[in-house]
Chains A and B, each alone.
Chain A
């Protein structure tokens, strides 16, 4: 497991930022206007068969369990060839809406999530980590709860128009999450209720 560089840099900004981050997460993510056409919802079976030699592979994929509203997909994206690959969009089985997001530090020292219009660029030999507090795939407008142990099928569309699919396991525990998504998270909370609610985009 490689250390999480992006997440570490976010954490280093200190607890003072945490509350603000939680609030901005809502503003930066939940209220973000839809850009472009809604990605199609894909059925689980569609991505179940491993595609042969895709331009990227995703290892350790997982999705944060959520009762509704929005959530995020994480994992490590690795280019399989010798040229950089750009992930331009993502589609999931959980919702028609998914966006590629990044977390940026703002001039006032707070953090904000926002769509990454240019996509995720994955250089050969430099796996691109999607992690809490860093780049991630945001799923909005969940049609149904994603419960721990559920699987969400994800298809990435790449710069050359090809795709790469993977299956993300839903988990409710996250290291480095801080108040990344939900400012009201209660420490020690367990069960499906620990996921954010009422944050529909």
Chain B
């Protein structure tokens, strides 16, 4: 568990943090060094984004891939809804469910009421609404095709640093619903769940947010609740992104799909608040303000693990998050499409907030799993983050008009 506020008053020397890979594991000692904050210049004024009504913007639901994965920029709001199929559900029930939900999603994302509904005002401005479906192990079992569930989706490994609460974990069918506006998002979730509940129950719902659309120039990496630019090293749009995200080799129903790993990562913001800026930046290896490596360069450069300071010490802790999280090869790359969550404060005033870490990848067994194993082994950031929820899903490819998501699995 994260250290309490009292522990944060224990002061370590800078070298303690630099060399403190072991401390990073245990969480017993929290670095509170960095009494001298780095002289970070204030952020440059944000250029005004082009203004104009954007509520009518719509993202096509149909296509080779599902929308809501490489849809960019990431929408401002998200709801992740995990459904469990009712006991006794079979392939026919699942097909009916997916047919209904695909039809709803196609209409809602285009700004239209679902069939049988009469609420055009609530969804007329979808604000880039997307609905993305993911299949958990229980869905494969229900349709009688358990062998089609990727092993890593069926059993994501446990990591030493996990403190997983079943309340935020698992699920047979995931709905990822995103929009720049919470009104259409709320309506979409409501109607989708209403059409699902004859066949499924709601296991959990997690809501997250990012920057408001247009608050910064297009292409700016969003900030998480630590204030960091989060996602600077995402694969670049184009070949690198496609290679990282889309399933190329696999059963026919899965080609052009993806895998989603969703982790609820609690941030110990009280302790983080009391850290000095230098400690915050060393923990990741990057400047909070610019996102650039503390070893120099720009946001999109790599942190240099060999850089040394004036005293000859490593400029960045070997266990700095950016160094540990860096992909060791193309197979480890993934698209991090996270959202902040804030369900606090608690009755006694403590924050209850963090990151809904949503990572899309062609194969979680070669991407999320080895990266997270490395982070669980050693990552300074473990002092302030705890994984409290975990779910993995096979994300089928998109569908054409008249088809439904998952049709190739159900009818193939």
Apart from A4-B118, A172-B116, A173-B194: 8 A-B pairs, beta carbons within 8 A: A148-B198, A149-B96, A149-B98, A173-B114, A175-B118, A175-B119, A190-B197, A191-B197
| Residues of A contacting B120 in the complex (Cβ-Cβ under 8 angstroms) | 1
B195 at the interface (CB under 8 A from A): yes
Candidates A1, A147, A169, A174; contact of B103 at CB < 8 Å: A169
Instruction: Fill in one digit per residue for B194-233: 1 if any A CB lies within 8 Å of its CB, else 0.
Output: 1101110000000000000000000000000000000000
Instruction: Answer whether A62 and B112 are a contact pair too, CB < 8 Å, given A148-B195, A149-B100, A191-B197.
Output: no
A173-B194, A176-B118, A190-B197 are known contacts. Are A149 and B112 too (CB-CB below 8 A)?
A: no
Interface residues in chain B, defined as those with a beta carbon under 8 Å from any beta carbon in chain A = 95-100, 103, 112-120, 194-195, 197-199
Within the complex, the shortest CB–CB distance from B95 to chain A, in Å, comes to 7
In the complex formed, the residue of A with least CB distance to B402 is A167
A147 and B96 form a contact (CB under 8 A): yes
Q: How far is the CA of A62 from the CA of B117 in the complex (A)?
A: 11
Chain A residues positioned under 8 Å from B115 (CB to CB): 60, 62, 169, 171
A1 & B198 in contact (Cβ 8 Å cutoff):
no
Docked pose: A171 CA to B194 CA in angstroms: 11
Partner of B116, one of A173, A190, A192: A173
The minimal Cβ–Cβ distance linking A69 to chain B, given in whole angstroms, is: 18
B116 pairs with A171, CB closer than 8 A: yes
Q: Which of A16-57 contact B (CB under 8 A)?
A: none
Count contacts between A and B, CB distance < 8 Å: 54
Contacts A171-B195, A172-B198, A190-B197 known; A62 to B113 CB distance under 8 Å?
Answer: no
Least Cβ distance of A3 to chain B in Å? 8
A173 to B118, CA, bound (A): 10
Q: Could you jot down 11 A-B contacts, CB within 8 Å?
A: A147-B198, A148-B195, A149-B98, A149-B199, A171-B115, A172-B198, A173-B117, A173-B194, A174-B116, A191-B197, A191-B198
Q: Flag whether A141 is at the interface (Cβ < 8 A).
A: no
Contact A192 B100 (CB under 8 A): no
Q: How far is the CA of A189 from the CA of B95 in the complex (A)?
A: 22
Q: Which residues of B contact A123 (CB under 8 A)?
A: none
- Complex CA distance for A91 and B103, rounded to whole angstroms: 24
Tell me, in angstroms, the Cα distance from A175 to B112 when the chains sit together.
Answer: 14
Cα A174 to Cα B285 with chains together (Å): 55
Q: Is the CB of A192 within 8 A of B198?
A: yes
Contact status of A151 and B116, CB under 8 A, knowing A171-B195, A173-B194, A190-B197: no
Contacts of A175 in B (CB 8 A): 116-119
Residues of B within 8 A of A149 (CB): 95-100, 199
Query: Which residues of B are found within 8 Å of A147, using beta-carbon distances?
Result: 96, 198
Q: In the assembled complex, which residues on chain A have CB atoms less than 8 Å from the CB atom of B197?
A: 190-191
Which chain B residue shows the least CB distance to A64? B116
CB proximity of B68 to chain A, nearest CB, Å: 22
Q: Which 5 A-B pairs have the closest CB atoms?
A: A149-B96, A175-B118, A62-B115, A149-B100, A171-B116
- Contact code string A125-162 (vs B, CB < 8 Å = 1, else 0): 00000000000000000000001111100000000000
Question: Are B113 and A1 touching (Cβ within 8 A)?
Answer: yes
Given the known interface contacts A1-B112, A175-B117, the answer about A169 and B194 at a Cβ–Cβ threshold of 8 Å is no
B114 neighbours in A (Cβ, 8 Å):
171, 173
Closest Cβ of chain A to B226, distance in Å, is 42
Q: Point out the residues of chain B lying under 8 angstroms from A62, CB to CB.
A: 115-116
**Residues of B close to A151: CB separation below 8 A:** 99
Tell me the bound Cα distance from A151 to B116 in angstroms.
Answer: 15
A148 and B101 alpha carbons, distance in the complex (Å): 11
CA distance in complex: A60, B117 (Å): 11
B99 contact set on A, CB distance < 8 A = 149, 151, 169
B97: A residues at CB distance < 8 A: 149
The contact of A148 among B96, B117, B118, B119, by CB within 8 Å, is B96
> In the complex, A137→B98 CA distance in Å?
26
CA of A149 to CA of B99, assembled, Å: 6
User: Among residues 87 to 132 in chain A, which have CB atoms less than 8 Å away from a CB atom of chain B?
Assistant: none
Could you say which residues of chain B place their CB within 8 Å of the CB of A190? 194, 197-198
Q: Which one of A1, A60, A64, A169 lies within 8 Å of B100 (CB-CB)?
A: A169
Mark A50-80 against chain B: 1 for CB-CB distance below 8 A, else 0: 0000000000101010000000001000000
